[in-house]
Chains A and B, each alone.
Chain A
Amino acid sequence: MRPASESELSEMIQAAQALHIQGGGTRGVGCVVGEVLDTSGLSGVELYEPGALTLVARAGTPLAEINALLASERQRLAFEVPDMRAVLGRQGVSTIGGVVAANASGPRRVQVGACRDALLGVRFVDGRGDVIKNGGRVMKNVTGYDLVKLMAGAHGTLGVLTELSFKVQAVPEAEVTLVAERALPQGLADLRAALGSPYDISGAAWIQGRAMIRLEGMAGSVAYRAGKLRDLLGFEEAPSDWAAIRDVSAFARRTGAVWKLSIKPTEAAALIQRLGLEAICDWGGGLVWLLDPSAAADVRGAVAGIGHATLIRASSRMETVPAFSPEAPAVATLTAGLRAKFDPRSVFNPGMRS
């Protein structure tokens, strides 16, 4: 199924039993259950005002098209969208709707917030076939309930996104990365020290014994802050590959399960040591990617009380492990209640509900 308009989409939803919503199929987690609903027909940038830092696009618009348009005005999506194709072993064209459905955010999340923080407005079609708009295209908007945040990261379980508006960012003129060889836990302690300094860090990652700190902004300012951090932590300027951190490239084409942990940063080092798994840390330790070759580690047990874990890539031995961390009963009740209101016939993404 590939609707070309909101009204066609609405009709399809009303007639459907179970739909697997798919943009480009590049980043979805969980199982594919139901007929594939391909949103790539709902494509195109509808408004772009560089002077107001605002972009409105239909949900099926390829991410690459948006990136190219923004780059032509030296702007970008600030939240640094990960490309998950290599690590998930997928092909396809990532769409902006898929990015929002996954609330996909990269290293710069520590500085500018997540995809949901840049999202100003949505249009979507719910499980009744109703076309709903919420938010808008202005930077500040507290008019009514914020369904925009609710839709970002809902993985399509509340509705099919059709149109999205974003606050975008000017590309800074300078970028510098500082690097030091640091084992755990010192590597993460240094990253937290950098994040706790006034030097406005836009990336704080740790991979294979190296701690990396990114600074962006005006040339003079970046040079000044880099100097301060060099003195403070003993890091040195070095070439770096933030795309590899963002895309979890080190775990691509490797056997095993891949977990994404969102946790209290100070817990990261001990947790990694306890589990004994290969790890990539981002967000100063707040985001931990784990590769579990045997798919046997009790990752869910390890994050209980300090955050949550999403099974991004399951191995064949893990068919019974849900993709998302189970929620506390009161939270699960509210979540189930919202899903029942927005999708009363349980049409959307049955494979991503747990």
Chain B
Amino acid sequence: MDMPIPNAAIVACKSAIVARLRSVLPADAVISDPAETRAYECDALTAYRCAPLVVVLPRTTAEVAAVLGICHEEQVPVVPRGSGTSLAGGALPTADCVILGVSRMNAVLETDYDNRFIRVQSGRTNLSVTGAIEADGWFYAPDPSSQLACAIAGNIAMNSGGAHCLKYGVTTNNLLGVTLVQMDGTVVEVGGPWLDSGGIDLLGVICGSEGQLGVVTEATLRILPKPEGARPVLVGFNSNEVAGTCVSDIIKAGILPVAIEFMDRPCIRATEAFAKAGYPDCEALLIIEVEGSPSEIAEQLSRIKAIAMTHNPVEFREAADEDQAKRIWLGRKSSFGAMGQINDYMCLDGTIPVSALPYVLRRIGEMSAACGLDVGNVFHAGDGNMHPLILFDANKPGDLERCEAFGADILKLCVEVGGCLTGEHGVGIEKRDLMAVQFNPVDLEAQLRVKDVFDPAWLLNPAKVFPLDVTAGRRAG
């Protein structure tokens, strides 16, 4: 993975830049000691690391604006960082950059149940947004699996999803407004506690722009009343294809589960060995969760059962109580950890049309056999968002490269069948060089022009999302 050569002139000016940053921030908000900046050398894509020039941890929008104003004047690249849980390298530093971490900005600013929104500082973690309102019977719907740690700022940057977005949508569908600080320090209020934009939908393009258009410091989020209850069922099949058809039939019947999760045999076996959730040993299993009152849950589950039975499942397991419901989810929630017990893994995030599921799973199996790396599939089947986990040995020379090549082939396959490179993790550096598979140069140029408007000098997170050769002229300028 190539990164731009750090600008030696900036690196040489480190002490002057640090001094300017210290002049606008409290002493504890500027970290410049190399022993301490190393803590920010990577995010959750740990294969790539680089200590930044300096780290700042501002506490207010005004401090963020002051930092960006200085970096703009000094022409220093800035990499925004939420909690550093990106799987795509979205927060990977360069040696000449300032890491702008929003983790100390975690306050709840306003809670308004009558208008159904909460306004928070963007460093607040996803789960603690719900934590602030659940006692009153409310929740914030997007639930990425890193929700205990990940920040709203990162959720907005990557337009994060989660298992339950089949019903509730992803971040962009639950975001009402942001306070955005542009690279030159200008503070912009976009949207607010009302629906739809009065003009061009800037909020729509800011969400998912991977920290390249501005630094979001505050967010107004749509919140929802908690459903009365939820319950999962587990359905096992002897063929991936039949499981895929069952998913399609449920969706077509108009039943709207909050989640339909899919695991294939390699993943089921690894999970069983690790978490002992008592899953059946079968080719594919679905975990389907529905919500509502007890009678509504029973009504939906009886429909789902009727559809599933037409596909001769090897098992249809209902949860009689809370404990059994937890056991159904246990394996799914442990699956990444289980695969990690076996070996290092790389988690992909391509999305495909649901109708292409059986074909894509078969092809992944063939490709896995051909390249000699095992792969387990665990993913959000209802919306076609796949998470193939490719196993490799980081200590074995050449294995990472083989794994990356295999991963790239899977993502190309996703695009080939009408899907995309990433459904909820973002492009970051991980999929940056594959963008040309999905977009032609004209499509990419249109996106680059958006960044030209928000950040004409290309200083914000500049080496991400787009292939380096495509952005070379802009970054240099």
Contacts and interface: CB of A to CB of B under 8 A. Distances in A.
Contact of A134 (B193, B296, B443): B443
Nearest to A339: B200
Interface in A124-146: 126, 130-134, 136-146
Given A198-B137, A198-B228, A335-B202, 12 more contacts: A51-B248, A132-B446, A133-B443, A137-B353, A142-B159, A149-B203, A149-B204, A218-B255, A264-B193, A283-B195, A331-B188, A339-B200
22 contacts: A52-B355, A53-B252, A116-B201, A134-B443, A136-B438, A138-B351, A138-B420, A139-B382, A142-B159, A143-B421, A143-B427, A143-B438, A152-B201, A158-B200, A170-B256, A218-B300, A221-B292, A262-B198, A264-B194, A265-B114, A328-B189, A330-B182
A306 interface: yes
A341 interface: yes
B199 A147 contact: no
Interface in A302-354: 306-310, 324-325, 327-328, 330-331, 334-335, 337-339, 341-342
Contacts of A330: 182, 186-189
A1 to B, nearest CB: 23
Interface of A: 49-54, 73-74, 103, 105, 109, 113-114, 116-117, 126, 130-134, 136-150, 152-154, 157-158, 169-173, 192, 195-198, 200, 218, 220-221, 224-225, 262-266, 283, 286-287, 306-310, 324-325, 327-328, 330-331, 334-335, 337-339, 341-342
Max chain A Cβ within 10 angstroms of own Cβ: one of B200, B202, B203: B200
Contacts of A117: 169, 172-173
Contact of A145 (B227, B255, B450): B450
Given A142-B422, A220-B295, A334-B202, A130 B195 contact: no
Given A147-B447, A220-B295, A263-B194, A331 B199 contact: yes
Nearest to A189: B114
B169 A114 contact: no
B426 interface: yes
A28 B46 CA distance: 51
B194 A262 contact: yes
Contact of B195 (A73, A148, A287): A287
A117 B170 CA distance: 10
Contacts of A154: 200-201
A198 B299 contact: no
Contact of B353 (A52, A126, A132): A52
B113 interface: yes
A266 B159 contact: no
A223 B351 CA distance: 37
A308 B198 contact: yes
A106 to B, nearest CB: 12
Max chain B Cβ within 10 angstroms of own Cβ: one of A195, A196, A308: A196
A341 B453 contact: yes
B36 interface: no
B198 A142 contact: no
Contact of B199 (A54, A134, A324): A324
Interface in B259-304: 292-293, 295-296, 299-300, 303
Interface stretch (B72-80, B205-213, B307-315): B205-213
Contact of A265 (B115, B251, B296, B299): B115
B161 interface: yes
A341 B383 CA distance: 33
Nearest to A113: B173
Contacts of A149: 172, 201, 203-205, 207
Contact of B422 (A143, A307, A338): A143
* 7 nearest A-B residue pairs (beta carbon): A149-B204, A170-B254, A308-B198, A139-B383, A140-B423, A337-B453, A51-B248
Nearest to A153: B201
A18 to B, nearest CB: 19
Contacts of B421: 143
A138 B204 contact: no
Contacts of B465: 144-145
Given A140-B383, A146-B159, A310 B198 contact: yes
Interface residues of B, number: 95
B143 interface: no
Contact of A150 (B190, B201, B444): B201
Contact of B113 (A74, A196, A225): A196
A218 B302 CA distance: 12
Given A49-B355, A149-B172, A153-B200, A307 B192 contact: yes
A342 B383 CA distance: 31
Contacts of A200: 227
A335 B200 contact: yes
B423 A141 contact: yes
A241 B252 CA distance: 27
A158 B199 CA distance: 12
Contacts of B203: 149
Interface string B128-172: 000000000100000000000000000000110100011001101
Nearest to A74: B254
A61 B345 CA distance: 46
B452 interface: yes
A331 B418 contact: no
A52 B383 CA distance: 8
A147 B442 CA distance: 13
B226 interface: yes
B208 A142 contact: yes
A335 B254 contact: no
B254 A52 contact: no
Contact of B200 (A105, A142, A157, A221): A157
B425 interface: yes
A268 to B, nearest CB: 10
A221 B201 contact: no
B388 interface: no
A138 B353 contact: yes
B48 interface: no
B294 to A, nearest CB: 10
B251 A140 contact: no
Given A130-B442, A142-B158, A144-B435, A196 B116 contact: yes
Interface string B434-477: 01001100111111011111100000000001100000000000
